[in-house]
Structures are given as C-alpha cells and as structure tokens.
Structure 1
C-alpha cells in the first residue's frame, strides 16, 4: 500500500512541475494554483508513505520517479533534448529506483 501511495505522490510531481512551467513565474493564476495545490498533495502522499517506508528509500524513489517522468514529459511534449547521454543517465535513475524497490521487498 505504501509503495502505491509513493508512486501516486511521484506521479503528481509531473502535474505540478508542468503546471508551474505553464505558470510562467507565477504570472498566470490557474496554472499557479494547480501547481501549488498538486505539490501540496504530492507532499502529503509522500508523508503518508513515509509512515511505512524508510525515509531515504522513499525520498529517493519519489524524487527519481518524478525526475524521470518530468524529463521524459519534457522530451515528448516540450521538445527538450533527447540526447543519448541524457537518456542514459535517466535510465540509471530508473535502475536505481528499481534496485531500491527490490531491496525493500
């Protein structure tokens, strides 16, 4: 259950990061409101997951999934660089997240 909550928290990072990108330095109201609200929800879910998971593992997984998700969304939706080294380092983050999950099972 805690891993599912942690995954949901990490996926919400995608939403708030994209919303804050669209907020353009908090100059646009609704993307700003969405970004801040979803960030708070993401933090709340992380806090719940921390009740059952080790802090270092939970935080690393939360950040890792969020980072990879935001980077891939940037590549697919915003035309950011898909250079092979960048993709390789993102793959290393994924491998780390999988390894941390495997250690906790």
Structure 2
C-alpha cells in the first residue's frame, strides 16, 4: 500500500508544478487554488507513504519521480525542449531511484 500512497503523492506533486506554472505568480485564482489543494493532497499521501518508507528514501523517491514526470510533461504539454544532457540526467535519476529500491530500504 505504501507504493500506492507514494504514487498518488507523485501524481499530485506533478499537478502542483503544472498548476503553479498556470497560476502566474498566484494571480489566477483557480490555478492558485488547484496548486494549493494539490500540494496538500501530495503532502498528505507522502506522509502516509513515510509510515513505511525511511524518510530519506521516501522523500528522494517522491522528488525524483515527480521531477522526471514534470520534466517529461513540460516537454509534452508546454513545448519545452529536452536535449541529450537532460535526457542523460533523467536516466541518471532513474538509475538512482532503482538503486534506492534495490538497497532494500523500503
């Protein structure tokens, strides 16, 4: 169940970043509300996941997977370009996440 909680936390953390980009410095009410509510939900589900994950590992997984999702969705939805260095960086993050999991800390 901890992986489901972490997955939900990641999805809502991605929503935070996407909504925050649309909130334009919190000047657009509904995007601002979406950002804040998504952040609260993401934090809640992260706290549930951290009941079984070590805090360092759980937080690192949350931030890393959400960061990859935000980067990929930014390219897909907002036309942001990815170069080979950024692609390599994503690959390194994935290797690190797999290494954390293989380390048996969760």
Fold shared, TM-score > 0.5 on shorter chain? yes
- Where does structure 2 lack aligned partners over 5 or more consecutive residues? none
| Segment drifting more, 58-67 vs 73-82 | 73-82
The alpha-carbon deviation at position 11 of structure 1 amounts to: 1.5
1:30 aligns to 2:36 (yes or no): no
Q: CA deviation at 1:100?
A: 1.4
Give a deviation string over 1:22-73, Cα, whole Å, max 9, x none.
0000000000001100101000111111111101110000000110000111
Q: CA deviation at 1:13?
A: 1.1
8 A contact 1:11–1:65 mirrored in 2: no
Provide the C-alpha distance between the structure 1 equivalents of 2:88 and 2:22, rounded to a whole number of angstroms.
27
Distance 1:95 1:59 in 2: 16
Give the TM-score normalised by the residue count of structure 1: 0.94
- How do 1:79-90 residues align onto structure 2 when only pairs under 5 Å count? 79-90=79-90
5+ residue gaps, structure 1, are: none
* Count of residues in Structure 1 that have an aligned counterpart in Structure 2: 105
Aligned to 2:91: 91
How many Å separate the matches in 2 of 1:11 and 1:98? Answer: 19
Asked if residue 72 in structure 1 is aligned to residue 92 in structure 2, the reply is no
- Cα displacement (A) at 1:81: 2.0
Measure the CA separation in 1 of the matches of 2:12 and 2:92.
Answer: 21
TM-score by length of 2: 0.93
**Cα RMSD (Å) of the superposition?**
1.1
